[in-house]
Amino acid sequence: MRTSTGATSYMLVYGTKAVIPAEVKIPSLRVIQEVKLDDADWIRVKQEQLILIDKRRMDTVCHGHLYQNRMSSAFNKRVKPRFTPRQLVLKNIFPHQEEAKGKFAPNWQGPYVVHKALSGGALILAEMDERVSMKPINSDAIKRYYA
């Protein structure tokens, strides 16, 4: 509520203008004029506030990275490798491959021997005559062969 002289209800009750909390943390020009800072002090205060904002932003980014690393390590701790070297496996035949000859063709080819298990679930396979394929394959396209 404003009166005709421009005074607000707050000013009539408390005798000063209302200051919102954001103006206290990051002073506006009105608050600075009331405190009567000179230009050099005002510039120094503004620079310190900007440096503090940048520092808090970097702290937040670092905290986010640390949190993601903790979460991924906690998850990966429980993940067990599905295949080990010298294990017999079958490889999936995808529809775009030459080996996919139609509806009644087999869906798996092999057996192969796991030559090496790479990080992230990729495998290097070797044929039964020990010829090693240099192309890694995702372990999702592999299933265990029981002989």
Structural contact between residues 136 and 118, judged by C-beta atoms closer than 8 angstroms? yes
Query: pLDDT tens, 19-61?
Result: 666 655 565 666 666 666 677 777 787 788 888 888 888 888 8
Measured distance CA(144)–CA(127) in Å, rounded: 14
pTM of the shown model: 0.46
Structural contact between residues 143 and 90, judged by C-beta atoms closer than 8 angstroms? yes
Q: How many CA atoms lie within 13 A of 120 on its CB side?
A: 5
